[in-house]
Amino acid sequence: MEEKRPIIRLDHVTKRYGDNTVVRNVNLDIYEGEFFTMLGSSGCGKTTTLRMIAGFEELSEGNIYLENEDVGNMPPYKRNVNTVFQSYALFPHMNVYKNVAFGLVEKKMKKEEIHEKVTEILNLVQLSGFEKRMPSQMSGGQKQRVAIARALVNNPKVLLLDEPLGALDLKLRKQMQLELKHLQQQLGITFVYVTHDQEEALTMSDRIAIMNNGVFEQIGTAKEIYEHPKTKFVADFIGESNVFEANVSEVKEDGSLKLIMEYGDMEAYGDGFEQNEIVYASIRPESVKCSLEPVNGFNIRGMVKEHIYIGSIIRTTIELPNGQLVKKCAQPDDDFKPVGSLVYLHWSPDKTVVMHTNEDKLYDLIDAGE
C-alpha cells in the first residue's frame, strides 16, 4: 500500500507555561484532505495545540512540520494555514465584501481578480447578495460564514477551526455542521477542528483525537473510538459505558481472559494483559443483557431498579450488591424483567473492552503511538 504523506506532523510536541505542562509530548500525523478533530473538555490543551500549528504559540519542545517542512521558526503569515476562531473576529467597520477581500488586498492582488475570488467564495458559503451588509446587520451563523469565507479566500491548504460554531444555538449549529462538512469535502482542504462537543466531533470528522490533560489518549475514527476505547477516560467521554474494576484471574491460550470482580465473573478478550493485573472492563449499555439464570462464563447478579421508556427503547438501571449501577438499554420486548427482579447480567465477551488501570502502561502505549 502506498504510504499517505502527512500534511501536518507534530513530533514530540510539548508546551509549558512556567511549570505547567499543558501539551505533553504529542505525536500526530494529519493527512491531506482529512477532517481531523481534537475533542476534549475545557482546559485540556486544544486551543494551545491549534495555536502552535498556526504559529501563534512557540513550542517548548519538539517540532512541527507542514508538508515536510520544519515550521518551528516560521511566522504565522508564512504558513499555508488559516484560522477561524470562536469569536468571529470580523472587522466591524467593514462590510462583508471588504472583510472577505482583506487578505487579498494585503497581498496586493489585482482588483478584478479579488472581485472574482470574493464573489466565488461568497457564493460557496451561500452569502451572495450580502456583499454590502455590515457585520452588525447579520445573524451569528451568517457572521460565522463570513469568517470562514475570509479564511478560505486565501486558498489555504489547511484550515484550523477553533470551536467555530460555539456561539450558535443548537439548531443553527447542526445546520452549520453539515454545511461545513460539505464545504470541506467539496474543496478537499484539510480541516483541523477543535470542539468539546462529542456529537459534533462524531458527526463531522474522519478522525478524532481525544485529548485529556495535555495528552491525546486516543486517535481514531468515530467507530474505532466508540467500539474500542483504549482508556477509561475515552470510554466515559464518548457515549455511555459501564466500567467495572476487575482482576485478571486467568489468561487463556486462545487469548480470552477470565475477569473476577468482587461481586461476579466475566469473560473478555484482550492482548497484553497479565495474570493478576487489575484492569477496567468497559461495556456499552446496548450490549448488556439480563437473564434469570447465569449464562456461560458470566456470574454477575443484580436487581432491576428502574425502567425508563424513551420512544422505541427502554433504559434500565440494575443495581449490583456493592451499589454500583449498571446501565442497560434495549428494545422493549428484549429480555425485559420487571422492577425488583433478581437477574444475572451477561453479554457477548467480545463486547467487553479491557483497559489497563496502570497509568505508566497507558502512557507507554500512547507514546508508542498505538
Ligand X SMILES: Nc1ncnc2c1ncn2[C@@H]1O[C@H](COP(=O)(O)OP(=O)(O)OP(=O)(O)O)[C@@H](O)[C@H]1O
Q: Which stretch binds ligand X (CB under 6 A): 45-53, 225-233, 243-251, 320-328?
A: 45-53
What number of chain residues touch Mg ion (CB under 5 A)? 1
Shortest CB 163 distance to ligand X, Å: 7
Closest CB to ligand X among 14 and 357? 14
CA distances 229 to 72, 218, 221, 327, Å, are 33, 8, 11, 18
Closest CB to ligand X among 115 and 196? 196
* Residues numbered 106-145 forming contacts with ligand X, rule: CB under 6 A: none
Coil, strand or helix: which one is 264?
Answer: strand
* Residues numbered 14-73 forming contacts with Mg ion, rule: CB under 5 A: 47
> Does the protein bind Mg ion through residue 83 (CB under 5 A)?
no
Shortest CB 46 distance to ligand X, Å: 3
Q: What DSSP assignment string belongs to 25-88? A: EEEEEEETT-EEEEE--TTSSHHHHHHHHHTSS--SEEEEEETTEE-TT--GGGSSEEEE-SS-
Shortest CB 46 distance to Mg ion, Å: 5
Which of 24, 46, 150, 328 touches ligand X by CB under 6 A?
46
309: amino acid identity, one letter: Y
Closest CB to ligand X among 88 and 347? 88
Q: Which three cell numbers stand for residue 310?
A: 424513551
Q: Which three cell numbers stand for residue 354?
A: 479491557
Q: What DSSP assignment string belongs to 120-171? A: HHHHHTT-TT-TT--GGGS-HHHHHHHHHHHHHTT--SEEEEESTTTTS-HH
> Does the protein bind ligand X through residue 54 (CB under 6 A)?
no
> Does the protein bind Mg ion through residue 198 (CB under 5 A)?
no
Binding site for Mg ion (CB under 5 A): 47
Binding site for ligand X (CB under 6 A): 17, 22, 40, 42-48, 196
